[in-house]
Amino acid sequence: MNDKRILRRLALCAALFLLPIASQASSRTVQLQASDPHTARSLLLNAELYRPEGSGPFPAIVLMHGCGGWQPAVRDGLRTHAEFLRDSGFVVLNLDSFGPRQYGGGKLCSNNPALYRALSYRTSDAFDAMRYLAGQDFVAADNIFLMGQSNGGAVAIRAAKESAPQRYGNGEAAFRGVVAYYPWCGELGRSRVSLSAPLLILAGGRDNWVPASECQGVRGEGAPLEVKVYPNAAHSFDLRLPPQSFQGKLIGGDPAATLDSRDRMLRFLLGNLTQEQQLARAARNGRNVALAN
């Protein structure tokens, strides 16, 4: 092999080695004002912001934790979701509702009245996060989504009922679609729910904390409702946790359900993008393919 061919191969290997580093740029920490502080006169919420390469504007999604707050396994799982979504072309805001209010570390997990009260101020947090993203010039303000786990999933259901799609295109932002991981589906009601944003629910068939049966058989009106149940999965199935009992309830990761749910979430998000964003995404992907070739 001559020297020129060796140099070309070395250059190609170096380029391929550097590509993952560019796509895995770290997040940055941001703060935003809570419109419903709940525990104080004024409160700043913490969040991790992930941004794809390029100028955008990109679609975006808010991630919301469950009752334990940013506990290590939860934060790790949310960061994995965030990196996947960022690498799929979404701006991601991973929001901490409980830490700034001194409710982190699982303090509320056995306090159902407190968790129910949290739905109110955490729904405000979700819309605060949406407005924060809508104010960023690299975000497509009419393509902002929400995903929540457990208590955050119940918040997501509530937000799907409260968002206002008729405002799309009128200068105001609203959630384009909502994903709820193993939520408390009592928030849906018994037989029907009036939705103003498409809703995807991902539940575990072995979840004895918030049973998947409460999510099934409910009809969505006004916007689509889809429920996917993983028969062998327990609560917190998208976290890297061994099966275990937590406060008498079964929790634990399920790798197969995690991967399928993540892909299903992405398809849901892409399917609910505005036509303008779908075209912009296709153009960006076309440029990336051309550059790779």
Q: Please state, in angstroms and rounded to a whole number, the distance separating the CA atoms of residues 173 and 152.
A: 20
Q: Please state, in angstroms and rounded to a whole number, the distance separating the CA atoms of residues 273 and 256.
A: 26
Contacts of 208 (CB under 8 A, 6+ apart): 234, 235, 249, 250
Q: Which of 270, 236, 238, 200 is nearest to 80 (CA)?
A: 238
pLDDT of the chain along its 293 residues, tens only? Answer: 444 443 343 333 333 223 333 334 478 999 999 999 998 889 999 999 999 999 889 999 999 999 999 999 999 999 999 999 999 999 999 999 999 999 999 899 989 999 999 999 999 999 999 999 999 999 999 999 999 999 999 999 999 986 544 444 455 567 999 999 999 999 998 789 999 899 999 999 999 999 999 999 999 999 999 999 999 999 999 999 999 998 889 999 999 999 999 999 999 999 999 999 999 999 888 766 454 44
Q: Please state, in angstroms and rounded to a whole number, the distance separating the CA atoms of residues 99 and 69.
A: 7
Q: Which of 45, 34, 24, 58 is nearest to 176 (CA)?
A: 58
H/E element holding 147? strand 139-149
Output the pTM of the full model. 0.86
Q: Six-digit token pair at 216?
A: 């099934």
